[in-house]
Amino acid sequence: MLFATELVGASAYDSQEHFVGRVREFFVEPAEQPNRISHFLISRGRFQPLVARYDQVAKVAAGRIDLNVSERSLDAYKPNEGWLAVQKDLMDQQIIDTEGRKVVRVNDVDLAVMRTNEHVELRITQVDVGLPGAMRRLLQGIAPPALVRKLQGKLPQRSIRWEFVNLIEPDPLRRVKLRITHEKLEDLHPADLAEMMEELSAAERQGIIASLDEETAAKVLAELDERLTTQIVEKLDPEKAADILEEMAPDAAADLLADLPKETSEELLEEMPNLEAEEVRELLSYDSSTAGGMMNTQFAYVSEASPREEVLGWLRKQDFNLEQLDTIVLVDAHAQFSGTVPVARMLLAAPEQLMSDLKTEPLVSITPDANEKDVFELFDKYNLRMLTVIDEERRPIGTVTVDDVVSRLVNA
C-alpha cells in the first residue's frame, strides 16, 4: 500500500533510466474507472509538464515512479475538467462520509498497488481522515520515510472506504463530468443530511440541494436552519425552487416564503400550481407567532356520522402523509367542527362503530389569530397530539401537530 503523500514530488524515470521530472499531481478519470489513478502529472521545471498514462507506469514505490516508455512518448499536459485531481480536488477538502453520516476533511489518500503483466496500476482504496495522515503530511520530506511509517502505526486509524466517500462539487457541469451523484445522500435521513450541510460552504450547500430530487430537497430544507434555507432558496433557479416548495407541507412552505423578500416569494408563488399556491398564500396571511401561522392546512376530516370501517376505506384511497393521519377531525351536518378521533382509538374500535362515539373529550379547538403561547398551553393541559384550528363559523381550517409545537419550543 502507498499513500498519496508519499507519491507527491516522487522522481519519475523513463524506460532508459533517465530522470524525467517530479510527480506533482495525479488524476482519476471517473468516467472510465471510479478508483484508478489514470494519469500522472510530471513537472520538469521550466519545461512544459508531461503526463503519463496509467499503462505507461512500470513500477511505483514511495518517492519513485518508473515508466515503461521513453520520455518522448509522453504527452504534454492539458487540463481536463473530467479528471479528478487527487491533490487539488481531494486533499484537504471536505467530503461526506455517507456511512458515518459526517462531514470530514481528507488528510491523505490510501492507494493499493495492482500489478498486471506490462504495467502497475494504483487504485484508491480509502481516504485517511485521522491522525496518521495528518502526521504524514507534516513530516513528509522532513523526516526519513521509515520513521514516518513507524510512527503512524502508533496513532489511531480513521479512514473511510472509497465507495462511501461522497465528493462535493459546487459546479454542476464539472459534477456531471466527474460522475458525482448524490444518490447515496438521498438515502440518508433528511435531518442527518441537513446537519451535515451546515458544516459546508454556501456554494457546496447550493450544489447539493440543486442535485437532490425535489422530494428529498424539500425534506432537507424543512430540517435546515431557516437562515440557511432562505439563502439557498433565493439562489435556486425559481422553477426548481417552486418544484421543491410544492413538495413541502404548506405550513413549511409558508414559513420559508415568509422569510424571503416579497418579490422573491411572489415570484415563487407564481411558479407554483394555483391550488398549492392559494393554500400557501392563505397561510402567509397569518402572523407566524399565531395558531394560524403554525397550522397545516392538509388534514383528514370526515363526517361524525360515518362508521369506522367506511372512514378507514376512504382514508386508504387518499394520499395523506402519515404525520397527518395521527388524528382525524370530525365535522357535523353543518360542516362545523365537532371533535377529533385519534387513529389509535379507531384501530381498537369495532367496524360498525360511529366516529362520533370515538370522539376525544373535551372538545378543544382554537382560532387562527390566537397567540402561540395559548397553543402551547392547550397542548400541555390536555396532553394533545393535535389541535384543530377553526374559523368564525366553527369550520375546521387546519391543524397544529405536536411536532410543530416541539420545534417551536426548541427554537424559541
Partner 1 sequence: MNLTTINNLIDRIRGRTLTFFSAGNQWRRRIALFLAVIGPGIITSNVDNDAGGIATYTQAGSAYGYSLLWSLIPMTIALYVTMEMCSRMGVITGKGLSDLIREEFGFRSTFFVMITGFLVDLGNVVAEFAGVAAAAQIFGVSKYIAVPLAAVAVWVLVLKGTYRQVEVVFLIACVFYLSYLFSALLSHPDWLLAARMTVIPTIHFDVSYLITLTALVGTTIAPWQFFYLQASFVEKKVGPRQYPQARLDVLLGSISCMVIVFFIIICTAATLHASGLTNITDAGEAAKALVPLAGKWAALTFAFGLLNASLFAATILPLSTAHVICEGMGFEAGIDHKFREAPAFYWLYTILIVVGAGIVMIPNVPLWKIFIFSQVGNGVWLPIVVIFILLLVNRKDLMGEHTNTVMFNVVAWITAVAMIVLTFVLVGQGIYQWARGVPG
Under the rule (CB under 8 A), what is the footprint of partner 1? 91-94, 103-105, 107, 129, 134, 137-138, 198-203, 205, 225, 227-228, 230-231, 234, 261, 289, 412
C-alpha–C-alpha distance, residues 251 and 314, integer Å = 24
Q: Minimum distance between the CB of residue 231 and partner 1, rounded to whole angstroms? A: 4
286: closest CA among 278, 276, 294? Answer: 294
Q: Minimum distance between the CB of residue 412 and partner 1, rounded to whole angstroms? A: 7
Contact, 126 vs 110, CB < 8 A? yes
- Pick the closer one to partner 1 by CB: 95 or 329: 95
- Pick the closer one to partner 1 by CB: 201 or 407: 201
- Bridge partners (DSSP) of residue 388 are 365, 399
Q: Minimum distance between the CB of residue 137 and partner 1, rounded to whole angstroms? A: 4
C-alpha–C-alpha distance, residues 338 and 229, integer Å = 38
Q: Minimum distance between the CB of residue 280 and partner 1, rounded to whole angstroms? A: 21
Question: CB-based contacts of 393: which residues, under 8 Å, 6+ apart?
Answer: 336
- Pick the closer one to partner 1 by CB: 93 or 356: 93
Determine which helix (DSSP H) or strand (DSSP E) holds 47, and give its type and residue range. strand 47-53
Q: Minimum distance between the CB of residue 37 and partner 1, rounded to whole angstroms? A: 20
In terms of DSSP H, where are the helices of 129-213?
A: 131-139, 145-152, 172-177, 183-186, 190-197, 202-211
- Please give the grid coordinates belonging to residue 307: 362508521
Question: CB-based contacts of 189: which residues, under 8 Å, 6+ apart?
Answer: none
- Pick the closer one to partner 1 by CB: 139 or 305: 139
C-alpha–C-alpha distance, residues 152 and 3, integer Å = 12
- Pick the closer one to partner 1 by CB: 4 or 188: 4
Q: Minimum distance between the CB of residue 175 and partner 1, rounded to whole angstroms? A: 15
Q: Minimum distance between the CB of residue 93 and partner 1, rounded to whole angstroms? A: 6
Determine which helix (DSSP H) or strand (DSSP E) holds 284, and give its type and residue range. helix 274-284
C-alpha–C-alpha distance, residues 177 and 186, integer Å = 20
- Please give the grid coordinates belonging to residue 180: 458525482
- Pick the closer one to partner 1 by CB: 128 or 279: 128
156: closest CA among 133, 175, 188, 178? Answer: 133
Q: Minimum distance between the CB of residue 201 and partner 1, rounded to whole angstroms? A: 5
- Pick the closer one to partner 1 by CB: 32 or 266: 266
C-alpha–C-alpha distance, residues 60 and 57, integer Å = 7
In terms of DSSP H, where are the helices of 285-371?
A: 291-294, 308-317, 343-348
- Pick the closer one to partner 1 by CB: 66 or 199: 199
Q: Minimum distance between the CB of residue 103 and partner 1, rounded to whole angstroms? A: 8
DSSP 86: I
- Pick the closer one to partner 1 by CB: 38 or 166: 166
C-alpha–C-alpha distance, residues 89 and 94, integer Å = 10
Q: Minimum distance between the CB of residue 31 and partner 1, rounded to whole angstroms? A: 23
C-alpha–C-alpha distance, residues 366 and 172, integer Å = 47
- Pick the closer one to partner 1 by CB: 69 or 131: 131
